[in-house]
Amino acid sequence: MPCTGEKPTDEPENCITDWLGSSLNSETDSIIRMAFDVDPDLGITLLFQRYYVSLCSYAFRTVLSEEKAEYIVSDVFYEFHRQRRFLTMTTSFRTFLFTEVRNRLLNSRLTRL
């Protein structure tokens, strides 16, 4: 039976972990959204601290260069803040950021062809 995330005590152990992880991401997003409401610079700082390392790790697996991975991820954060994307977010920050990094990775591969 697939994990539904509705009742963690009724699910197998691995589903509990999935549910807790999802719950923590949701709480983290709420805190970061509140920070953006108070001060956009504080919001981007928290967002950066929360996701930078995992995004760099994700990017590194494709580009196989720490420098390129860091550049791509830093640019995603820069554009996110510059364009004030946090004002119109409809998805989770995690989903948005990983999608943006993936798109940049795909674009960089296409440019090399």
Q: What is the DSSP string of 56-74?
A: HHHHHHHH--HHHHHHHHH
Tell me if 1 is assigned to some domain. no
Angstrom distance (rounded) from CA 60 to CA 21: 23
Half-sphere exposure of 28 (CA within 13 A, CB side): 17
Scan for tokens 């640019």, then name that residue: 75
56 located within any domain: yes
Is residue 3 domain-resident? no
Query: Whole domain around residue 106: which residue ranges?
Result: 8-112
Per-residue pLDDT tens digits of the chain, which is 113 residues long: 333 334 444 444 444 334 334 555 678 889 999 999 999 999 999 999 999 999 999 999 999 999 999 999 999 999 999 999 999 988 899 999 999 999 999 998 767 65
pTM: 0.75
In a domain, 106, yes or no: yes
pLDDT the model gives residue 6: 41
Domain membership of residue 58 (yes or no) is: yes
Query: Total structural domains in the chain?
Result: 1
2 domain-assigned: no
Residue (of 113, 17, 101, 1) closest to 59 by Cα position: 101
